Amino acid sequence: MIMKKVLVDADACPVKDIIIEEAGHAATPVILVSSLSHYSPQNQPDHVDTVHVEAGPDAADFKIVALADAEDIIVTQDYGLASLLLPKGCTVIHHKGFKYDDRNIDHLLEMRHMGSMIRKSGGRTRGPKPVSKEDRQAFLHLFREVMK
pLDDT tens digits for 19-67? 999 999 999 999 999 987 766 777 899 999 999 999 877 899 999 999 9
Whether 112 shows a pLDDT value over 70: the answer reads no
- For the chain, which residues make up each domain, given as ranges? 6-147
pTM of the model: 0.85
pLDDT tens digits for 130-139? 899 999 999 9
Instruction: Centre a 10 Å sphere on the Cβ of residue 113 and count the other Cβ atoms it contains.
Output: 12
Q: How far is Cα 34 from Cα 59, in angstroms, rounded to an integer?
A: 9
Ramachandran sector of residue 125 (left: φ over 0; alpha: ψ -120 to 50; beta: rest): beta
Can you give the pLDDT at residue 43? 85
Can you give the pLDDT at residue 93? 97
From first CA to last CA, the distance across the chain in angstroms is 17
SS3 96: coil
* Mean pLDDT over each residue of the chain, to the nearest integer: 88
Q: How far is Cα 139 from Cα 6, in angstroms, rounded to an integer?
A: 14
pLDDT tens digits for 65-79? 999 999 999 999 998
Q: Which fold has domain 6-147?
A: Rossmann fold (3.40.50)
Whether 98 shows a pLDDT value over 60: the answer reads yes
Residue from 6, 34, 40 nearest 20 by CA: 6
Distance of CA 131 to the CA centre of its chain: 14
